[in-house]
Amino acid sequence: MEITEGRSVSTRQLCFFLAFLLPVPKLLEAPALLAYYAKDDLLLPALAHFTLQAGMLAGIVYLSSKTDKTLFQLLADKWGLWAAKTAYFLLSAYYIFFSLLPLLGIERFVYTAFFDSAPSLSAFAPFFFLAAYAATKSLKCFARICDLAAPLFLVAFFGLMLLAVGEADFTALMPLFSSSPRSLSLGALRSFPHFSDTALLLPFLGYYRYKRGDGKKILLSYGAGSCFVLFFLAVFYGIFGAVSQLQPYAFSKIAGYFGGLAVIGRIDLLLVYLTTILLLFYYCLPLTLSVHCFCKAANIRNRIPASAVICLSLLLLTVFFNRLYSGLYSFVTVFAVWVFPLFAYGAPLTCLLTLLPARERRKKRRA
Amino acid sequence: MLKNSLRRKNATRYYLILIAFLFCFFFSNDFGLIDIQKTAIVIAAAIDRDGEDFVLTSQIAVPQASKQGEQVQPVQIESRGKTVAEAFSKVNAKTGWYPKLVFCNLIVLGKTAVERDVFEGLDFFLRDEYMADNCSLAVYEGEAKEILSSKTPIEEIPALAVQKVLSEHAARVGTALPVTLRTFSASHYSSAKSGFIPILKKEQASGESSSSAGQGNGNGQSQNQSGGQSQGESKETIFSASETALFKEGVMVGKLNDEQTFALAAIKRDLRLAGFFTGEAGNNYTLLVKKNENKIRLTIDKNAQPKLFVQTTVTAGIQDNSTPSTVTELAEEGSLPPALKKAAEKKLKRTVEEVFQIAKDCGADVFGATEMLRKYQSKYFSAYHDNLLSRVQLFVKIQFRALR
């Protein structure tokens, strides 16, 4: 059996990841995007995504309850080594593709929230140094970040919501189902890049050992994370109403309308800083997974060169696409949007197929 | 081997320290170092129109050394452009200062700006990612730049004095109905396409109105004019914002006087320690409104008749009256005599009805009826939303409750 770096991820860490780290990137650009298409029904496409993703997550948990193998082993045992290697190369490429738009998004967000005018592009470079370091580490290290993320998220999220909720007029969400089915489905389709969580969990297979009762804990944690996002969406629309679609980085200013801040200053920015740190941690994950999958597929033990090459390439891509952001945005959310459901739904379902008995065994059983 | 391991550990440490150091710059906006000599910190902007051109007056805070230490002096720069952005860019061209809007907390719209869609200019501020959208909006029925070039005893910088009369405190005591760029934009882009903005008035600090624009409706504003005083004696002005401009599709279509503004505040906002003036049996009273509870509801009856119910319960007590009171009356300051209560209810009800009539005449849905139709009676929305105000029946119920 493959060495999985000491069964590194505990149930607690996985639950913390689902409840406290997965919701964070959804607070950035997704609310304005959903409001643009679904208007006051913006909760519905989000709810649909969460429900479907919860189904996929249940499938992955079921898979981990049935086998202790890693994803690579599962694929290799079922379809051969080359199939497993190809799948891992594809996953590695997918994680880079997955990161591209959010990285440009967070870069633009930081420039908007923390800078008064446009800074130089190199200001965002430290993130790639951090990601390059994180990517050389095992998944166990990332799991430890989840422990750290829990208190940071709770302080930042509830702090921001406490300051913001008083300004929100929740009746702005009325009437339910006022948007056309076309707008709702378009909102759901375009927001796929923000709600494709399960693809990130596949490489954790085999690094986490299933125990009795874990299924409930994991699904409840995902449910809690989803509730945080839905509550944020409701407060967001309650505050901005008809101009919600103009607020791509709402969480940086959502608490700024609290009356007391005029006297004591923008202390809410401390909470925004905390959330941004969580975002940086979160965006290290796809890069870590990309390096992990690449090294596995290419059978490379030393991750440092692979990490350096991948992170440097992404840094160059970020600088290159910075000037072509709207073109890349249209490409990812319109022409290449099918890639996200392919990996977020297709990949887990394919993994579930590995549980089916082989054809020969089935024949024998029938005989 | 041990040496190699230590060297590798040290390399990792240096790497992490470098990352932390670079992140410091990343998060701190390079520690916010801005060249004050090259930056114009715009604290307020006034927008007027001259034909198709925007006339923009930017009030810029300039730190200056003085005997008392460093002080901020306001400087007004006027620039023109076919768009507000062009006018702002000319500030840079004229002065060499790069205009920063991060601290812009006030936008004043002049008479010429509100005669056409104000979003021809305001949408620039909505697009600007570096500007907070909770800056206050105000209308001045003259040239908006006059407000920023006024001299006021309240503050060194007139924009700050204006912000005081548009503060949250002013909203609570009902002397103004302040709005921010965000709230006004949200109501403008809603189904009602309506909104309101407070109207600024200039008065001489001694009490005499110095504003030619403020002559339209001096209801209660200039009652304490000191007759013989000439304008030349004191040029210092103070501001008030107790009147309100009504907007439909971005154009100013009507206005409310101070009493009507208070009535709208009483039915839409939460009042605290507000003064309400009423009279009963030839005696003038000032009631102190401790709090109010509002409810506005839109229903459609069996005959498809839309009905708007406005219900407000005001908890108030006598603060003062114009005739001497007995000791017993003074001791019962928290109570409201039934006749006075009735008079106050009647007056507020009548004023709310006046507000409704004005809103109906000019088509500005300041009651939010169209939004209520969309939210709660959506099946009637397409049929009624164009002419809801002319169809709807108003039912006003005002109740005054004594403090004790």
Mean pLDDT of chain B: 83
Q: Output the pLDDT for position B177.
A: 94
Tokens of B1: 């081997």
Q: How many pairs of residues across A and B have Cβ atoms under 8 Å apart? A: 78
With contact defined as beta carbons under 8 Å apart, do B317 and B404 qualify?
yes
Q: Please judge whether A127 and B26 are an interchain contact, meaning their C-beta atoms are less than 8 angstroms apart.
A: yes
Cα distance between the two ends of chain B: 86
Find the mean pLDDT for residues A334-352. Answer: 92
Residue of A nearest to B377 (CA): A175
Q: Output the pLDDT for position B68.
A: 62
- Looking from the CA of A53 toward its CB, the CA atoms found within 13 Å total 32
pLDDT higher at B216 or A290: A290
Min Cα–Cα distance to chain A from B16, Å: 8
A28 contact residues in B (CB cutoff 8 A): none
With contact defined as beta carbons under 8 Å apart, do A229 and A23 qualify?
yes
DSSP-assigned states of every residue in B70-106: EEEEEEEEEEEESSHHHHHHHHHHHHSPEEE-TT--E
pTM greater than the 0.90 cutoff:
no
Q: Please judge whether A175 and B374 are an interchain contact, meaning their C-beta atoms are less than 8 angstroms apart.
A: yes
> Which A positions 131-150 lie with beta carbon below 8 A of chain B?
133
Mean pLDDT of chain A: 88
Does residue A247 have a pLDDT over 90?
no
Q: Pick B168's closest partner by Cβ from A110, A175, A259.
A: A259
Run of H or E residues at B375: helix B369-376
Q: Output the pLDDT for position A3.
A: 44
Q: Residue B352 — pLDDT band, cuts 50, 70, 90?
A: very high
Q: Output the pLDDT for position A57.
A: 95
Q: Residue A126 — pLDDT band, cuts 50, 70, 90?
A: confident
Q: Residue B230 — pLDDT band, cuts 50, 70, 90?
A: very low
Q: How far apart are CA B27 and CA B15, in angstroms?
A: 18
Q: Residue B178 — pLDDT band, cuts 50, 70, 90?
A: very high
Q: Please judge whether B100 and A117 are an interchain contact, meaning their C-beta atoms are less than 8 angstroms apart.
A: yes
Find the mean pLDDT for residues A287-291. Answer: 92
With contact defined as beta carbons under 8 Å apart, do B232 and B186 qualify?
no
Q: Please judge whether A242 and B189 are an interchain contact, meaning their C-beta atoms are less than 8 angstroms apart.
A: yes
B132 contact residues in A (CB cutoff 8 A): 253, 256
- ipTM value, please give it: 0.82
**If interface means Cβ-Cβ distance under 8 Å, which residues of chain B face chain A?**
12, 15-16, 18-19, 22-23, 25-30, 32, 34, 98, 100, 102, 126, 129-130, 132-134, 168, 182, 185-190, 374-376, 378
pLDDT digits (tens, 9 = 90+) for B355-377: 999 999 999 999 999 999 999 99
Does residue B127 have a pLDDT over 90?
no
pLDDT digits (tens, 9 = 90+) for A176-196: 888 899 999 999 999 999 998
Long-range contacts of A227-231 (CB under 8 A, 24+ apart): A228/A19, A228/A23, A228/A157, A229/A23, A229/A26, A229/A27, A229/A30, A229/A46, A229/A50, A230/A43, A230/A46, A230/A47, A230/A50, A231/A161
Find the mean pLDDT for residues A152-160. Answer: 94
Specify the range with the lowest mean pLDDT, choosing from A159-168, A257-266, A287-296, B376-385: A257-266
Percent of chain A with pLDDT over 90: 51
With contact defined as beta carbons under 8 Å apart, do A206 and A70 qualify?
yes
A110 contact residues in B (CB cutoff 8 A): 26-27
Q: How far apart are CA B163 and CA B219, in angstroms?
A: 22
Find the mean pLDDT for residues B169-189. Answer: 92
β-strand pairing of B53-66 with B69-81: antiparallel
Strand order in the sheet with B306-321: B274-280, B283-300, B306-321, B393-402
B182 contact residues in A (CB cutoff 8 A): 240, 243, 257
Q: How far apart are CA A359 and CA A351, in angstroms?
A: 17
| Chain-centre distance for alpha carbon A17 | 10
Q: Please judge whether A242 and B186 are an interchain contact, meaning their C-beta atoms are less than 8 angstroms apart.
A: yes
Min Cα–Cα distance to chain A from B214, Å: 30
Q: Output the pLDDT for position A109.
A: 83
Does residue B34 have a pLDDT over 80?
no
Question: Which one of A36, A116, A179 would you mutate to disrupt binding with B, by most B Cβ within 10 Å of its Cβ?
Answer: A116
pLDDT digits (tens, 9 = 90+) for B271-295: 999 989 888 777 888 888 999 999 9
How many other CB atoms are there within 10 angstroms of residue B72's CB atom?
14
Specify the range with the lowest mean pLDDT, choosing from A255-264, B115-124, B225-234, B306-315: B225-234
Specify the range with the lowest mean pLDDT, choosing from B31-45, B164-178, B343-357: B31-45
Q: Output the pLDDT for position B30.
A: 54
Run of H or E residues at B256: strand B251-256
Specify the range with the lowest mean pLDDT, choosing from A100-114, A283-297, B7-21, B23-37: B23-37
Q: Please judge whether B27 and A276 are an interchain contact, meaning their C-beta atoms are less than 8 angstroms apart.
A: yes
Q: Residue A151 — pLDDT band, cuts 50, 70, 90?
A: very high
Question: DSSP label at A349?
Answer: H
Rounded to 10 degrees, the C-alpha dihedral A20/A23/A27/A29 comes to 140
The single-letter code of the amino acid at B203 is E
Does residue B26 have a pLDDT over 80?
no
Does residue B225 have a pLDDT over 50?
no
3-state secondary structure of A260: coil
Q: Output the pLDDT for position B88.
A: 87
Q: How far apart are CA B150 and CA B163, in angstroms?
A: 14
Q: Residue A25 — pLDDT band, cuts 50, 70, 90?
A: very high
Specify the range with the lowest mean pLDDT, choosing from A112-116, B2-6, B243-247: B2-6
Specify the range with the lowest mean pLDDT, choosing from A91-105, B304-318, B328-342: B328-342
Does residue B4 have a pLDDT over 60?
yes
Q: Output the pLDDT for position B65.
A: 62
Q: Output the pLDDT for position A364.
A: 66
pLDDT digits (tens, 9 = 90+) for A43-86: 999 999 999 999 999 999 999 998 888 889 989 988 889 999 99
Q: Output the pLDDT for position B208.
A: 52
With contact defined as beta carbons under 8 Å apart, do B244 and B258 qualify?
no
Q: Output the pLDDT for position B6.
A: 64
**Cα–Cα distance list, B42 to A256, B39, B239, B261 (Å):** 20, 9, 20, 30
Instruction: Note the residue count of chain A.
Output: 367
